[in-house]
Structure 1
Amino acid sequence: MTASADPRSLLAPLGQAIAEGRLIPFLGPDLLETGEAECPVPTSTRGLVERLTARVGVPGRIRGNLWASAQYIETYRHRTTLVKLMTEIFKQTPPVGPLQRWLAGLPGLPLIVDSWYDATLSEAFKDRNDWGQVQAASRHGLAEVVFLRAISAAGVEVPLDAAAAWKTLIYKPHGAIWPLADMLVSDSDYVEALTEIDIQTPIPVAVQEIRATRGFLFLGCRFHDQMLRIYARQILKRSAGPHYALLPEDLTRNELRFLDELSITPLFLDLETAIPLLTGGDGGG
């Protein structure tokens, strides 16, 4: 892993590659801090687990672990309690930021990976009808083995093969508040997905096809959580590259190892500085 010596000079070409559909944006929750108003939802796994455990007490040994804390709530207070809490936490849509507005205005963008639960990106796309969302399915309440659900621009569940007709596919690998409030967050949500993920069963076929000739640019993502690293690793699997990540410089050892393992070039620049350079300043409505 070698950091770019001049990340600013790379951003305009990377933005052009996104606009032309040659590079896939992979969005994380830090982007929600770039909106015009205060973000009403947690923007990290740490922030989310703090919100959950403020409502339901969990043992101290797991209080800092989102997935284990959510499992405790599900086991001892029932799944409906966990779903209700997650829905309450994410019911407000954060303000659409300049990057999301820019992405929604790109007609040639085939895929966006959006790794958090919020509905900001679908809100940015609300004036378009040529897109859709494929999201992970928690499988609770579903009678059959289902890893994925497809949602049209109108917010209606449709067959997965409908994604072939969309100009832009938004992929939510951990589920989403919009429109079904179906979110993966407890350990049990991930058990079967993690069993299958190495053979790519939980990754949409359309995502596998699009990534085969492209690389990824991570924006607003951190990799200090093992679950997030596992999913990012599997989403990048068999993609063409190259890969880049906008990041702060205070990376953990696990993050540095992850970047090195996947040959991701870090661009050490803050989002507020980077986004205008990436978009050419075109973040208006």
Structure 2
Amino acid sequence: MSAHRLVQLLDEVAAGDRVPYLGAGVAAAAGDAQPASPEALCAAIEARVRAPKRARGNLWSVAQFVESRRFRKTLETIVQAAFAERPAPGPLHRWLVRARPPLIVDAWYDSQILDAARTEGAGGWGWVQGVSRQGQWREIWTRAYDATGALVGEAPDPGWETLIYKPHGVIREGHSFLMSDSDYVEVLTEIDIQSPIPEEVQARRAGRPFLFLGCRFDDQMLRIFARQIAKRSGEGHAAVIAGELTRMERKFLDELGIERLDLPLSAVSDAIGAPA
């Protein structure tokens, strides 16, 4: 029954009636050349910089320590090295860009969904990403790029057929990302009133529930972003999450009314007829 329900949910994504929300687990399924969880990325940073005991194991706190003690450039150099290899997009990435839903949310730092859109998607798409305000002297939350990778401004083009939203940014040369506590402080102050979330994202989520894929909600930061991005959208969210849930995950799913399918992410590849 769960597998049949998954096919129904993916059909709704393909029809543009449901918003796919990708977590780090989708990147993990596509290969292990890059860190594909907050814990793995934190470990990659700690392998280069010894963090204090109070911060160890917490990505946002370790990033803040590096930024405060070694400057932002050091943090950028470390994480860009961790993401230097760019594995080929996975089957879910490729299926999504061919399906062309109005909105795709990708809540990890990798570029695989963007690479898939460039190689397999048609024209008429672009992305908008969260940016750090480090070194900025004005209020800025996002930057938008067209299908060629050219910067088009702070807001995406409403005429794009598909909009990819990377709320935490993208780790690669020439782009920005949110990671340290200081990156998030102003975002978290404003996110409840939706200021950091582009108006076009808000418009495209309206009336559409979400399908969470490759997401875990055992981290407060991830829960906050998922809650606020899904705010004022359609009812009837669903998530594919296998195995035991933490107490906070169960509470979060109940709070948002998320239907949970206890299936591995490989079931999505089966459902779309692609090799896992």
Q: How high is the TM-score relative to the length of structure 1?
A: 0.92
Whichever residue aligns with residue 10 of structure 2, its letter is: G
Unaligned runs of 5+ in 1: 1-5
Residue from 14, 35, 40 that aligns with 1:47: 40
Question: Which residue does the alignment assign to 1:125?
Answer: 117
Cα displacement string for residues 148-207 of structure 1 (whole angstroms, at most 9, x for unaligned residues): 111111111112444201110000010112563311000000011001000000011111
Aligned to 1:103, the other structure's residue is in SS state helix
Contact preservation (8 Å) 1:98, 1:283: yes
Aligned to 1:192, the other structure's residue is in SS state helix
> Which structure has more RCO (C-alpha within 8 Å, separation ≥ 6)?
1
2:166 paired with 1:164: no
Unaligned runs of 5+ in 2: none
1:83-232 to 2 correspondences below 5 Å: 83-107=76-100, 109-127=101-119, 128-178=122-172, 180-232=174-226
Cα separation, 2, equivalents of 1:181 and 1:41 = 17
Whichever residue aligns with residue 84 of structure 2, its letter is: K
Q: Which stretch shifts more, 127-136 or 214-223?
A: 127-136
Cα separation, 2, equivalents of 1:255 and 1:161 = 32
Contact preservation (8 Å) 2:142, 2:155: no
Whichever residue aligns with residue 264 of structure 1, its letter is: I
Give the Å deviation of 1:88. Answer: 1.2
Give the Å deviation of 1:39. Answer: 1.8
Cα separation, 1, equivalents of 2:169 and 2:65 = 20
Contact preservation (8 Å) 1:34, 1:98: no
Aligned to 1:245, the other structure's residue is in SS state strand
Question: Which residue does the alignment assign to 2:3?
Answer: 8
1:21-32 to 2 correspondences below 5 Å: 21-32=16-27
Aligned to 1:183, the other structure's residue is in SS state coil
Aligned to 2:118, the other structure's residue is in SS state coil
Question: Which residue does the alignment assign to 1:256?
Answer: 250
Aligned to 1:222, the other structure's residue is in SS state coil
Question: Which residue does the alignment assign to 2:15?
Answer: 20
Give the Å deviation of 1:64. Answer: 1.1
2:70 paired with 1:77: yes
Identical positions, percent? 46
Contact preservation (8 Å) 2:21, 2:210: yes
Aligned to 2:127, the other structure's residue is in SS state strand
Aligned to 1:164, the other structure's residue is in SS state coil
Superposed CA RMSD in Å reads 1.5
Q: Which stretch shifts more, 220-229 or 81-90?
A: 81-90
Contact preservation (8 Å) 1:216, 1:244: yes
Whichever residue aligns with residue 67 of structure 1, its letter is: W
Q: How high is the TM-score relative to the length of structure 2?
A: 0.95
Q: Which stretch shifts more, 114-123 or 156-165?
A: 156-165
Distance 1:121 1:53, change over 3 A: same
Cα separation, 1, equivalents of 2:76 and 2:143 = 17
Contact preservation (8 Å) 1:129, 1:154: no
Cα separation, 2, equivalents of 1:257 and 1:207 = 26
Aligned to 1:158, the other structure's residue is in SS state strand
Distance 1:118 1:67, change over 3 A: same
Cα displacement string for residues 86-130 of structure 1 (whole angstroms, at most 9, x for unaligned residues): 1111122222111111011113x1000000000000110113331
Cα separation, 1, equivalents of 2:175 and 2:46 = 20
Aligned to 1:86, the other structure's residue is in SS state helix
